[in-house]
Amino acid sequence: MTPEPERPDREVVSFVRRGSRLSSSRQDAWDRLAAQYVLDVPRGRRDTVPDPAARIDPAAVFGRRAPLVVEIGSGQGENIAAAAAAHPERDHLAFEVYLPGVAQSLDRIERAGLPPNVRLVPLDALHSLAVLLPERSISELWIFFPDPWHKSRHHKRRLVNPPLLETVLPLMAQDGVLRLATDWAEYAHHMRQVLDADQRLQNLHTDGPRPAGSTSDQVPDDIAALGWAPRHEGRVRTSFERKAGDAGRLVWDIAFRGAAPIEAPAPDERDRP
């Protein structure tokens, strides 16, 4: 009897694949702007991950060397388009696996005046970043309103977990900043537990109070009273965030900086052979 071939382990992903069909307006935006703004990265074993040999050189992509902001899960592009237009001194790279969201992002980039300092990558960031980007290349990493995966058995699918930090921290520039936001108190609590436990990170707002007001979702009894960031002024109020507000939920902002690496002292000249 011929043994069945071994199946590769299925990777845990933080997203659910949705339809890729584009409306006529989104298809029009894609046809006109994708060649300029969407990076055509060779695919690997799945269509959401890159070929292991693929690379993104930010200096080559943008034609310059500038601080690089990376957004994971850019949705319909509201943040990244506005940020690129408002900050021409920076470059912006957005990862989004949902094709209609990428197409909608192109429309928003056009409305923002077609800033040249933004590109979109239609891949799974968690399983792509370490392959594609050079070490110490990210100045800021944004994760705004990721899927909370409420059920306990799904918590392993949450984006903000130790595997994310193992992927992105080597890519962060010295003193690079991670900015996160969620409208679910329990996920905010989870995020803080993950980030607080990593000694490579420093909370930028150790005395920052929790967001003011009441919330319609359940707040964990042991959630941190301090250590919350003020609302990031560079984050636009998206339609998603407005829906959260309409539902009575608070928004929890978090900001951490990568701690400076500890370097071994230079050997004393007298100790040299």
Cβ 43 vs Cβ 49: under 8 Å: yes
Candidate list 9, 28, 147, 207, residue with the active-site label: 147
What residues are designated binding site for S-adenosyl-L-methionine? 71, 96, 124, 147
What residues are designated binding site? 71, 96, 124, 147, 151, 183, 238-241
Task: Give the contacts of 156 (CB within 8 A, at least 6 positions apart).
Answer: 12
Task: Give the contacts of 2 (CB within 8 A, at least 6 positions apart).
Answer: none
82-109 b/e with 16+ CB inside 10 Å = b? bbbbebeebbbbbbbbbbbbbbbbbbbb
Contacts 24+ apart (CB under 8 A), 243-247: 244/145, 244/183, 245/183, 247/216
What residues are designated binding site for substrate? 151, 183, 238-241
Judge whether 40 counts as a catalytic residue.
no
| Residue of 50, 247, 41 whose CA lies nearest to 145 | 247
Q: What are phi and psi of 142, to 5 degrees?
A: -110, 135
Residues annotated as catalytic (active site), given as ranges: 147
